[in-house]
Amino acid sequence: MNSMLEGMLETALYARDLDEAEAFYEDVLGLEKITRAGNRHVFFRCGPGVLLIFNPEETVKPPAPDALQVPPHGTSGQGHACFRVSGRNVDAMAERLTAAGVTIESTVRWPNGGRSIYFRDPAGNSLECAEPKIWGIEQDI
């Protein structure tokens, strides 16, 4: 069966402190902010996709009658997201994170080639920067 899915368009993580999350993703990771809606969400451009950071206390509320009809959603606890990083930039990203006071929890060299580094955002979400070849994906997009 062929899938009609073409890839991931957006990834969502949750953080109660959006000011802290906004500063981390914009200033530490260097993502371009697309928009912020009060204490509900902040969205970032990430390569060809979008990273959505939602406040879980706000996204469980039903939408106002005049708002976009996005159904309530959310989660409790930490999530995980992996950022695609070229092999030549894994070490540079680790250095950037360390310089910003972010602890690298683990560095993994995968059996099929490629490396990952793992760290946490201020909300405790597990983040990973990895070479695409860990999943057999060609390096360049």
Contact 131, 86 (CB under 8 A): yes
Structure pTM? 0.90
Q: Which of 16, 34, 62 is the last residue of a domain?
A: 62
Which two tokens mark 3?
């899938």
69 is a domain residue: no
Instruction: For residue range 50-105, list pLDDT tens digits in order.
Output: 999 999 999 888 877 777 677 878 888 899 999 999 999 999 999 999 999 999 99
**137 in the same domain as 95:** yes
Phi, psi of 42 (to 5 degrees): -140, 135
pLDDT at 139 over 70: no
Domain that residue 134 falls in = 78-141
**133 in the same domain as 82:** yes
Q: In the prediction, which pLDDT does 3 show?
A: 83
β-bridge pairing 10-14 and 49-54: parallel
73 is a domain residue: no
DSSP letters, 103-114, are ---EEEE-TTS-
CA angle 63, 48, 71 (to 5 degrees): 15
Domain count, the chain: 2
β-bridge pairing 80-84 and 126-130: parallel
Q: The CATH number of the domain where 20 resides is what?
A: 3.10.180.10
Q: How far apart are CA 92 and CA 11, in angstroms?
A: 24
